[in-house]
A = this chain, B = another copy of it.
Amino acid sequence: MTSLTFDIPPTDKGALEEGSSFTPKFDASGLLTAVVTDADSGELLMVAHMNAEALALTLETGIAHYWSRSRKSIWKKGETSGNLQSVAELRTDCDQDALWLKVRVAGDGATCHTARRSCFYRSVRLSDGKVVLKVER
């Protein structure tokens, strides 16, 4: 468990957007969106979600923790596979409802459960009025 807690977002938009207080704006389900990129290549690896506890654990340990919406539990990414994510930098956006994690992936470097480096391995294209997927890597 963690002892780190987060303050409620201010009603003043200027304070939220330009201040130095971190006041994450969790959604109705208590979650933030987390965008995860490779700290070295910049590649988009995955999109996940964090609740307050996952965020606190990530800040305290430097290892990415998420909230698994399907399992409804804290998810220390890579705990089973060995592909732990060390957080090189954490950022938030203007309204503090999204996070950007720049990570280094341990083990064989896979992020996706399909064993690929990134979950975003397929492009989406409109071709002759139909939408098709193409595996890019």
Contacts and interface: CB of A to CB of B under 8 A. Distances in A.
A68 interface: no
Given A44-B100, A47-B93, A119-B94, A124 B59 contact: yes
Interface string A17-53: 1111110000000000101010000111011000000
A119 B35 CA distance: 13
A94 B113 contact: yes
Contact of A124 (B46, B99, B124): B99
Nearest to A28: B29
A47 to B, nearest CB: 4
Contacts of A120: 91-93, 98, 100
Contacts of A134: 20
A1 interface: no
Nearest to A41: B42
A136 to B, nearest CB: 7
A81 to B, nearest CB: 14
A90 B89 CA distance: 26
B93 A123 contact: no
Given A33-B47, A44-B37, A22 B91 contact: no
A41 B133 CA distance: 24
